[in-house]
Amino acid sequence: MQKKVKEKMERRLAVLPLQHIDTSVILEDPKSADGKFCIKYLQKISYNYRGIFSAPVLSELFLSILLLESNAKRYASMDVVTDLISTRKIGFYTPKNIFDISKKIRNLDSRITPIDIEIIACAVEHKAVNLVTLDSVLIENTSIEKEFNIRIRHPKDLL
């Protein structure tokens, strides 16, 4: 019985629009204006959208947790992230071959940081519909969007 329920959930998730979620959406202060949009957006994951964390997002997220000054804060942050992944059925993506995509991104917009280049490249390689971020350099970056047929949106745009 448990196996059938899991298979049904996987089939339902598979038809939802694929969304890669940037680190900024997870780390934003929930009390800020952007943070409120992030929380509302994350509540739609597994209902309206299929959420994915790419390996670069996970590494950036884990690094920010490691840099917290106390063990209590580290453990609490890890609990929040693992609960989010479990509750919202967030998946993971490991890049296969993003070198050429990364090079094109770098040539299209030199303002984009190396980690953001990897995050975008993963979303493109995985054929995500949207990359969801708070990064103003990335949001609606028409040169990236046109070149790779991906939308880069703020969480509020998906509510």
Check residue 7 and give its pLDDT. Answer: 77
Query: With 90 as the cut, is the pLDDT of residue 9 above it?
Result: no
The percentage of residues in the chain with a pLDDT greater than 90, rounded to a whole number, is 90
Q: What is the mean pLDDT of residues 84-92?
A: 96
The two tokens of residue 75 are 């453990």
Q: What is the dihedral of CA 40, 45, 50, 55, to 10 degrees?
A: 80
Backbone torsions φ then ψ of 17, nearest 5 degrees: -60, 130
Contact assessment for residue 152 and residue 131, using Cβ atoms and an 8 Å cutoff: yes
Residue 25 CA to residue 37 CA, distance in Å, equals 9
Report d(CA 10, CA 32) in Å as an integer: 33
Give the domains, in start order, of the chain with CATH numbers.
16-158 (3.40.50.1010)
Segment 141-156 mean pLDDT? 97
pLDDT over 70, % of the chain: 98
Question: What pLDDT sits at residue 13?
Answer: 79
Residue 108: exposure state from Cβ atoms within 10 A (0-12, 13-18, ≥19): middle
Question: Does residue 1 surpass a pLDDT of 70?
Answer: no
Q: Is the distance from CB of 41 to CB of 34 less than 8 angstroms?
A: no
Average pLDDT of span 72-83? 96
- Other beta carbons within 10 Å of 115: 15
Three-state SS at 32: coil
- pLDDT given for residue 80 in this prediction: 95
Q: Are strands 50-54 and 151-153 parallel, antiparallel or unpaired?
A: unpaired
Q: What is the pLDDT of residue 45?
A: 96
Mean pLDDT value across residues 86-100? 97
pLDDT, one tens digit per residue, over 38-47 is 999 999 999 9
Spell out the long-range contacts of 9-12 with Cβ–Cβ below 8 A and sequence spacing 24 or more: 9/89
pLDDT of res. 8 = 72
* Mean pLDDT computed over every residue of the chain: 95
Tell me what the mean pLDDT of segment 131-135 comes to.
98
pTM assigned to the model: 0.93
What pLDDT, in 10s, does the model give residues 44-58? 999 999 999 999 999
